[in-house]
A = this chain, B = another copy of it.
């Protein structure tokens, strides 16, 4: 999973000792383990520990000469990780693909399986994605710009399901509708919950 790599990148950099090690290496010089331990006032095993983490994240490279292991910074990987992280958070690259079609097959199957032939909702789907599909399907039947009283809205929902209270709450919860002083109104569709970017 992509996410874990990003997490590991930031874990590697979220410790003051490791940052200080990188700082010591940032001039490009090589420094060996014992020298690091002494400079940082740490034991050798602790240096080994941090070196392993930095190596796993490809932030340093190592060279052996006799008994001594010299560390050197790997700046390209540090920069690359930073960029990958930003791209991930801002969803560069994957955004376009997932923007469209929230799984049309799923939508079809939910409409087929959860709604009876007479249009009523058999049961409220428990699974998150499916529930949203059912909610959206019903919300689309409401008139944009119209202000509904609670009573009117209950009546509307009752066309589909007896448990209007739950569904009314879900409409609010997932931002299909907005409530003010017991008056209900459809939100603009841009605000309707999106599930494409959940992953």
Interface on A for B, CB 8 Å cutoff? 3-4, 6-7, 10-11, 13-16, 19-20, 22-24, 26-27, 29, 31-32, 34-35, 38-39, 41, 75, 78-79, 82, 85-86, 88-91, 128, 173-175, 190-191, 193-195, 197-199
Contacts and interface: CB of A to CB of B under 8 A. Distances in A.
A76 to B, nearest CB: 12
Given A4-B16, A7-B15, A13-B85, 14 more contacts: A3-B16, A3-B19, A6-B19, A7-B14, A10-B11, A13-B89, A14-B14, A19-B88, A22-B89, A24-B197, A24-B198, A26-B91, A27-B197, A29-B194
B82 A29 contact: no
Contact of A197 (B26, B78, B173): B26
A90 B74 CA distance: 11
A67 to B, nearest CB: 11
A41 to B, nearest CB: 8
Contacts of A6: 13, 19
Contact of A173 (B15, B20, B35, B89): B35
A86 B78 contact: yes
B14 A10 contact: yes
25 contacts: A3-B16, A3-B19, A3-B20, A4-B16, A6-B19, A7-B16, A10-B10, A11-B14, A13-B89, A20-B198, A23-B199, A27-B91, A29-B190, A29-B194, A31-B175, A32-B175, A34-B173, A35-B174, A35-B175, A38-B128, A39-B193, A39-B195, A39-B198, A78-B86, A82-B85
